[in-house]
Amino acid sequence: MTARTLDYAQELIRRASVTPDDAGCQDWMADKLRALGFACESLPFEEVDNLWARRGDAAPLLVFAGHTDVVPPGDETDWSQPPFEPRIHDNGMLLGRGAADMKGSLAAMLAAVEAFVEAHPEHAGSIGFLITSDEEGPSVNGTGKVVETLQARNETIDYCLVGEPSSTDAVGDVIKNGRRGSLGARLVVNGVQGHVAYPHKADNPVHRAAPALAELVATEWDRGNDFFPPTSFQISNIHAGDGTTNVIPGRCEVLFNFRFSTEVTEAELRERTEAILDRHGLDYSIEWKLSGQPFLTDRGQLVEATRAAVQSVTGRTPELLTTGGTSDGRFIAPTGAQVVELGPLNATIHKVNEQVAAADLETLAEIYYGVLERLLMDDSKS
């Protein structure tokens, strides 16, 4: 799988697939999958390309999920090489936009499935690929829409392995078996604009909002649990005024976000927040946006198979964590599927000179192969 994995990673990185442009990545993957007997289906929604591929029609269905889109490279002169011209350097690092997030994982998945199908053409169950070009963007017309399509025709995903870069110090040291929910808000506190020399003729919305914001920051929303840290509240932006020092602003806009555990619900967070705002007597409006509910895959076949594969290939025992941002696993887990995330190191994701060790991608392909063996091997068909 070694040569395949590295060749495939470079082939994908060469395609400048900045969200939502797939740049032909999915067509290239589909050609490879069709050669293995996969039925491949393009599922575009508006400007987003999605690929659904499946080999077999029996249960269980193990799906490899990921995204071909990448974040913009920024000023390309800051890179040590053109970001979409991948190269393996003398130190063994593969450099290019998407090397870690997550074209390296897609390459490892494809190489592992090729090797597995070649060795076990009559494997048990089914293998699927769910690939989108809308993970780094709004995530409106990507994985969620594909999952809705599958549910409408009663296609059930049993196991899903998402290739997000989960590892911290070594490949496989962390498996993400869940993610926190994300709830954002835009709060507008209204006041009365006026001259700073005549504050009695104005009403400063910044002063009004400050005590309420302080209470929100100091509030304990929950204490977390064995799998999740306590829910966090973070203010990401405050804006008021026109930039002058002698005008009391008429409104104050605040952006904030909750990353929440399974110990609290979205509705509870909204209700408690608005109760605090009301208690402080604010004249306000608030717009809420739920980006994802928290999800958790407790110990089960997928977690155990993935842990065993990592141990077999690397000798290390992976840690189960739910930290980090959201992922497309949030669209798949609510269907009842077991979901884990396992990918390369996340040290350089979204950065200039994004890179991953070539040897790590080889290791990742071996781990994915091990997961396939543990979940879809049927001795009677091998």
If you average pLDDT over every residue of the chain, what do you get? 96
Q: Is the pLDDT of residue 381 over 50?
A: no
Alpha helices in the chain (DSSP H): 2-13, 25-34, 103-119, 143-152, 205-218, 266-279, 301-314, 329-332, 358-376
Task: Give the model's pLDDT for residue 115.
Answer: 97
Task: Give the model's pLDDT for residue 344.
Answer: 98
Average pLDDT over residues 123-128: 98
Cα separation of 92 and 81, whole Å?
Answer: 15
Average pLDDT over residues 305-327: 94
The share of the chain scoring above pLDDT 90, in percent, equals: 95
Residue with tokens 């997000």: 164
Q: Which residue is catalytic, options 101, 114, 135, 354?
A: 135
Q: Which residue is catalytic, options 22, 69, 134, 360?
A: 69
Quickly state the pLDDT bin for 302 (edges 50, 70, 90): very high
27 in catalytic set: no
Average pLDDT over residues 357-362: 98
pLDDT tens column, 59-103:
999 999 999 999 999 999 999 999 999 999 999 999 999 999 999
pTM: 0.89
Q: Is the pLDDT of residue 294 over 70?
A: yes
Q: Is the pLDDT of residue 13 over 90?
A: yes
**CA distances for 8 relative to 49, 110, 111, 156, angstroms:** 20, 8, 8, 29
pLDDT tens column, 178-220:
999 999 999 999 999 999 999 999 999 999 999 999 999 999 9
**Rounded to the nearest 10 degrees, how much is the dihedral formed by the CA atoms of 273, 278, 281, 283?**
80
pLDDT tens column, 209-250:
999 999 999 999 999 999 999 999 999 999 999 999 999 999
135 in catalytic set: yes
The larger pLDDT score, comparing residue 75 to residue 3, is at: 75
Contact 231, 325 (CB under 8 A): no
Residue with tokens 């090797």: 115
Q: Is the pLDDT of residue 378 over 90?
A: no
